[in-house]
Amino acid sequence: MQYAVSDIHGCYDKYIQLLRRLGLKDSDTLYVLGDMIDRGPDGLKILRDISMRPNVVPFLGNHEYAALTCLPWLMEELTEENTEPDVLLWRLQSTQGWISDGGETTIAEFRRLSTEAQQDVLDILEDLTVYEEVKAGGREFVLVHAGLDRFSPDKPLDDYQLDELILSRPEPGETYFPHKYLVCGHTPTPYYTGARPEDARIYRRDRLISIDCGCASGGPLGCLCRDTRAALYV
């Protein structure tokens, strides 16, 4: 069986509950569509756990991209080059932007790690998947963190810029592939439905399936089984 989940955002207990509910077999695959870190306290713990599971595939989300940009600076020694005013200003603005979006918990967690463990985290972030095309249950799926901005049905996935894959926000009624399902996270589903956070559910319209139910903001952690298209919540 193939499953997809997204935007765990440091909620380790919900992540473990989901794994227990799924009871993954060696033949199963769980795709985690980015934003494993930030907001909740245990994002790097989740990231490192996922990296040790051969049948769990982690994706790059905008929060991992921010971490990959900013975390190496915490390991650098100060030099004339990296303390130039323009460099410092750019780094400060980038880090402040990340902190304002929940990065403070990840920075704190990173600082508690040994230097070796910190480098392991950076190596994991470097290797994250950006998109996948898969088949399950006789259907075809495109998996990506946020969506496909500036979409064209004739545009190869390799031609999309990174920001088009990790920062886009599909609008209700937007049409994608005629014969494939687009599965993504990033946008909490109450954006589409108007539901209260605790009532959030996976959103489906035409061939768009949005699975971020806002688990770090009072919603459940939603998981999609692509073989059956059934949903599971913890």
Q: pLDDT (tens digit, 9 = 90+) per residue, 111-152?
A: 999 999 999 999 999 999 999 999 999 999 999 999 999 999
Q: Are 146 and 167 in contact (CB under 8 A)?
A: yes
Q: Is 196 helix (H, G, I), strand (E, B) or coil?
A: coil
Q: Is 75 helix (H, G, I), strand (E, B) or coil?
A: helix
Residues 6+ apart with CB under 8 A from 91: 70, 73
pLDDT of residue 81: 74
Kindly indicate the confidence band of residue 174, based on its pLDDT and cuts at 50, 70 and 90.
Answer: confident
pLDDT of residue 89: 86
CA separation for the pair 127, 170 (Å, rounded): 26
* CATH number for region 2-64+126-233: 3.60.21.10
Q: Are 220 and 190 in contact (CB under 8 A)?
A: no
Q: Is 191 helix (H, G, I), strand (E, B) or coil?
A: helix
Tokens of 133: 């095309």
Residue 226: name the closest of 136, 145, 143 by CA.
136
CA separation for the pair 160, 183 (Å, rounded): 16
- Predicted confidence (pLDDT) at residue 80 exceeds the cutoff of 80: no
Q: What letter does residue 23 receive in the DSSP assignment?
A: T
Kindly indicate the confidence band of residue 78, based on its pLDDT and cuts at 50, 70 and 90.
Answer: low
CA separation for the pair 206, 182 (Å, rounded): 10
Provide Rg for the chain, Cα atoms: 18
Is the pTM higher than 0.85? yes
Query: Stretch 70-96: mean pLDDT, rounded?
Result: 82
The torsion region of residue 131 among left (phi > 0), alpha (psi -120 to 50) and beta comes to beta
Extended beta strands in the chain, E state? 2-5, 29-32, 56-58, 131-136, 139-144, 180-184, 203-205, 208-210, 222-225, 231-233
Q: Are 182 and 157 in contact (CB under 8 A)?
A: no
Tokens of 159: 């031609």
